[in-house]
Amino acid sequence: MALFTQQDRLLAIDTPLGSDVLLLTRLKGQENISSLYAFDVELYSASTQIEADKIVGENVTLKIMQTDTLGLRSGGYRHINGYVRRFRGEGEQLQGLRRYTAEVVPWLWFLTQTSDSKIFQNKTIKQIATEIFAENGFNDFEFRLIGQHPIREYCVQYQESDFTFLSRLFEEEGIFYYFHHEDGKHTLIIADHNGAYETCQEGSVSYQAGSLSAHSIHAWSHQYEFRTGRYAKRDYDFKKPSDRLQTGVAADMPLNGVKRFEHFIYPGRYEDKSFGDQLTRLRIEQDEASHDQVKGESGCRSFTPGHSFTLNRHDDAPDEMDDYLLLGVDHQASDYSYTSQDDVEREYKNTFRAMPASRVYRPAMITGWPKMQGPQNAMVVGPAGEEIYTDNYGRVKIQFPWDRYGQYNENSSCWVRMSNNWAGKNWGGIFIPRIGQEVIVDFYDGNPDRPIITGRVYNAEQMPPNSLPANKTRMTLRSDTHKGEGFNELTFEDEAGEEFIYIHAQKNMELQVQNSRHKRVEFDDTATIGNNSYLAVAHDRIEKIDQNQDTTITGNLTEKIDGNQGITLGGDQHTKAGGDITYKTGGEIVLDARKITLVSGGTALVVSAGSVNVVPSLNVGSASPGTAAIPAIPEVLDTASGTGSPFVSHCPKSAA
């Protein structure tokens, strides 16, 4: 009768339940580079009822007994550490022991049990991964990076698990990972170069066809695939709109005609051409990893993805002797020595995939990127105390409703471009969204990392400028005074019979016309000016009034004419002054009328054709003295308006 202990057995398991509470009899698992491993295990226990909370989610270590070169047990173990994802009690019994099954996975698997929407700004992939691991409570990881991994200005995790998010970033930047196992723990190794490969404990092995040796490979096949020979990418950067940002890289695969076939990718997801060249090279290296691979079977228990070995012997094809990187290993092992049949065979075997270790492995881009299915709403944000926050491109900061981590300030997003109704080289239209406004955001090619504002909408806190639906016929463009009270406005009223256009300037208004301005008012034109009015005309000014003009000046009127003044009246002219009238000229004053009457006090001077009369007594010339009465003012002008010659030209001189 076998003892219920795992000591000196091919398979063993350490659990928080205690030594030998669970006995490992069989395991089957898959390990792949840049992938989560999973091991299905068969267990037996004398305990018929194991509480789930004592084992599910707990750390365990699977052990596979190593052997020496003669196939004898060495006492050492190949460890496979992980966490119990699933545990199930079966109804079967073996020698009085109850059968259980479980699945063991790495700590990285727990990141598949999350989902989040989060924005990372100005961080490298290393910083992003470290933050996510820490938030999930894990620190068993190690970075082995030597490549250039640029700072990501704006990187969005959108409705995806932490694992999916990191996987697509790793794949994009050519980063692979694998696990280093120890008794009681496992470490995630994150790397980007072939110097980061570890060496298997069985670091040098031979190919022996048909052999079942624990330290040899007994099946070997080398496979070559035709893969794409060229990759080309292109992208666009609005800061360098004339730069096409195109890259192209050819493969190093020694296949005839391979470079005739090209993959072109747009957008390339880069704004810097040097980074674009790097990403394009990574795509080629991904294909090269699939071009040249080995598949085999062995009894080498230390074979682990991310680890390398040397093939030191191959009788059929000596050229195969080389260093190889393990890409995937499928394990199978069983140990039923707990039964009364002590001679039951204990078995371990694996199948594996490998590639030449001289090449760097790049994970295939198999993880999908989130594709935004349509526009979303967001709020314009900025620093406290500001109303408008923008940069020299007119971009603004926003916060999405799904962003649980943003603080509705200038750090909530990157600068986001805004669509305008018109945009040209120093011309067009621009209306910068203000802090607190709701905007509509779309995404270039559905990429959450590339938002663009396409519109603005009202909400219950940001209502339209006109009350609706009462003013449904009005179209209004109204601004809001920055850090003050007031607005500028342009309104169109389209109600039938009440149409009008309203313009309101909160302070100043400037109108500049480079050529002509034409204004036609079919009815009244009213202007009210609260202070001064200035008019400067560079050339002529012509006014035509079909009827009357009435001008009232409560102060003074000053006119300065550098040239001549001409006044033509079709009727009378009346001038009334409450004070003096003074004419001063450097030349002559000519009055040309049929009769001229000058009145001062009780005396009038009447000048008519051929005579000058002073009323009441003076008579000058040959005419008879007149008896005209002194005319009233301004009626005197009517009396003096008869025909006659100018007084100055024709008044005869008196005798000395």
If asked whether residues 347 and 273 sit together in one domain, one would say yes
Number of Cβ within 10 Å of residue 305's Cβ equals: 24
What pLDDT shows up at residue 301? 94
If asked whether residues 389 and 437 sit together in one domain, one would say yes
What pLDDT shows up at residue 104? 99
pLDDT digits (tens, 9 = 90+) for 355-405: 999 999 999 999 999 999 999 999 999 999 999 999 999 999 999 999 999
What is the share, in percent, of the chain residues with pLDDT greater than 70?
91
396 inside domain: yes
What pLDDT shows up at residue 525? 92
| pTM summary value | 0.82
Structural domain ending residue among the three candidates 69, 90, 107: 107
Answer whether residue 71 shows pLDDT above 60.
no
Q: Are 44 and 97 in contact (CB under 8 A)?
A: yes
- The two structure tokens encoding residue 297: 């079977």
pLDDT digits (tens, 9 = 90+) for 104-136: 999 999 999 999 999 999 999 999 999 999 999
476 inside domain: no
645 inside domain: yes
210 inside domain: yes
501 inside domain: no
pLDDT digits (tens, 9 = 90+) for 300-327: 999 999 999 999 999 888 999 999 999 9
If asked whether residues 187 and 216 sit together in one domain, one would say no
Residues of 170-207 as b/e, b for ≥16 C-beta within 10 angstroms? bbbbbbbbbbbbeeeebbbbbbbeeebbbebebeebbb
CATH number at 26 reads 2.30.110.50
- Enter the DSSP assignment of 497: T
pLDDT-based confidence at residue 137 (cuts at 50, 70, 90): very high
If asked whether residues 216 and 351 sit together in one domain, one would say yes
If asked whether residues 97 and 77 sit together in one domain, one would say yes
Answer whether residue 652 shows pLDDT above 50.
no
pLDDT-based confidence at residue 341 (cuts at 50, 70, 90): low
pLDDT digits (tens, 9 = 90+) for 585-636: 888 988 888 898 888 878 888 888 878 888 774 444 444 444 444 444 444 4
Structural domain ending residue among the three candidates 443, 471, 499: 471
pLDDT-based confidence at residue 345 (cuts at 50, 70, 90): low
123 inside domain: yes
d(CA 413, CA 155): 10
What is the share, in percent, of the chain residues with pLDDT greater than 90?
68
Structural domain ending residue among the three candidates 195, 223, 242: 195
What pLDDT shows up at residue 640? 42
CATH number at 431 reads 2.40.50.230
Answer whether residue 531 shows pLDDT above 60.
yes
If asked whether residues 238 and 169 sit together in one domain, one would say no
Number of Cβ within 10 Å of residue 61's Cβ equals: 20
If asked whether residues 159 and 277 sit together in one domain, one would say no
What pLDDT shows up at residue 173? 96
Sign of CA dihedral 410, 411, 412, 415: positive
| DSSP assignment string, 386-423 | -S----TT--BEEE-TT-SS--SSTTSS--BEE--S-B
| Mean pLDDT, the chain, whole residue set | 89
| DSSP assignment string, 331-384 | EEEE--TTSS-TTPPPEEEEEEEEEETTSPP-----SPPP---S-EEEEEE-ST
Query: Which of 25-34, 101-110, 342-351 has the weakest average pLDDT?
Result: 342-351
Residues of 254-282 as b/e, b for ≥16 C-beta within 10 angstroms? eeeebeeeeeeeeebbbbebebbebbbbb
Does residue 492 sit in helix, strand or coil? strand
What pLDDT shows up at residue 75? 66
If asked whether residues 252 and 330 sit together in one domain, one would say yes
If asked whether residues 212 and 352 sit together in one domain, one would say yes
Q: How many domains does the chain contain in total?
A: 5
If asked whether residues 136 and 204 sit together in one domain, one would say no
CATH number at 168 reads 3.55.50.10
Q: Are 262 and 231 in contact (CB under 8 A)?
A: yes
Q: Could you identify the residue written with the tokens 């994150």?
A: 190
If asked whether residues 120 and 91 sit together in one domain, one would say no
pLDDT digits (tens, 9 = 90+) for 154-206: 999 999 999 999 999 999 999 999 999 999 999 999 999 999 999 999 999 99
Show the domain range for 334.
Answer: 196-356
Number of Cβ within 10 Å of residue 285's Cβ equals: 18
270 inside domain: yes
If asked whether residues 67 and 98 sit together in one domain, one would say yes
d(CA 618, CA 616): 7
